[in-house]
């Protein structure tokens, strides 16, 4: 049995923190980070807003990302081994039904249909503008944010893609990124456990 869980949402909403907790708690769990699929810096366009379009879908190699997910779907055990995940049976039955879980984490998971269609469960973290801006300003990125990037590019792109997602009626569970890390992890873990239990 194979399950793909999406942890999407706004920048600095708590996606990576939640993902890291889930992959420790769930059986035979691998992870794919969308940030690993950015195109090279020299291929990132400068948009009409005057900023490099890091927060646009076009800045990501989504075909490569979908290919990576397909590789997991085809051979989850092999994928797990190549990513250092120890696969273990889930029960003491003579022929245990092996469960494999892939958590995909990123800020634009639900705006590219070939990827969106692969999820069994989609989560979407949100935080209000003020908190998002505060968190973003305290983070250190390999390429520092130029002045005005958040208001001029990051937040408008977030609103654009969220609206697009809602227009396409993407079925996602919205999570309040202001909740404690423990509460968020507990909520998502319980829901995934129930899903696994009901499908087994």
Catalytic residues: 35
Quickly count helices (H) and strands (E) in the chain: 8, 5
- Please, what is the Cα angle at 198 between 111 and 179, to 5 degrees? 55
CB 170 within 8 Å of CB 43: no
- Please, what is the Cα angle at 140 between 138 and 146, to 5 degrees? 90
Q: What is the 3-state secondary structure (H, E, C) of 132-195?
A: HHHHHHHCCCCCCCCCCHHHHHHHHHHHHHHHHHHHCCCCCEEEECCCCHHHHHHHHHHHHHHH
As given in the structure block, the two tokens for residue 192 are: 């995934």
């Amino acid at each position: 049995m194979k399950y793909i869980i999406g942890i999407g949402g706004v920048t600095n909403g708590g996606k990576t923190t939640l993902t890291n907790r889930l992959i420790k708690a769930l059986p035979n769990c691998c992870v794919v980070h969308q940030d690993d699929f950015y195109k090279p810096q020299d291929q990132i366009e400068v948009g009409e807003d005057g900023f490099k379009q890091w927060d646009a879908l076009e800045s990501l190699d989504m075909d490569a990302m979908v290919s990576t997910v397909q590789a997991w779907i085809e051979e989850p055990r092999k994928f797990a081994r190549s990513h250092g995940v120890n696969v273990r049976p889930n029960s003491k039955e003579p022929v245990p039904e092996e469960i494999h879980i892939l958590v995909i984490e990123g800020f634009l998971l639900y705006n590219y249909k070939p990827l969106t269609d692969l999820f069994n469960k989609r989560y979407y973290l949100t935080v209000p503008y003020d908190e998002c801006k505060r968190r973003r300003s305290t983070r250190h990125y390999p390429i520092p944010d130029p002045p005005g990037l958040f208001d001029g590019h990051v937040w408008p792109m977030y609103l654009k893609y969220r609206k697009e997602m809602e227009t396409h009626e993407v079925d996602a569970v919205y999570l309040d990124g202001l909740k404690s890390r423990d509460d968020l992890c507990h909520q998502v873990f319980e829901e995934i456990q129930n899903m696994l239990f009901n499908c087994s």
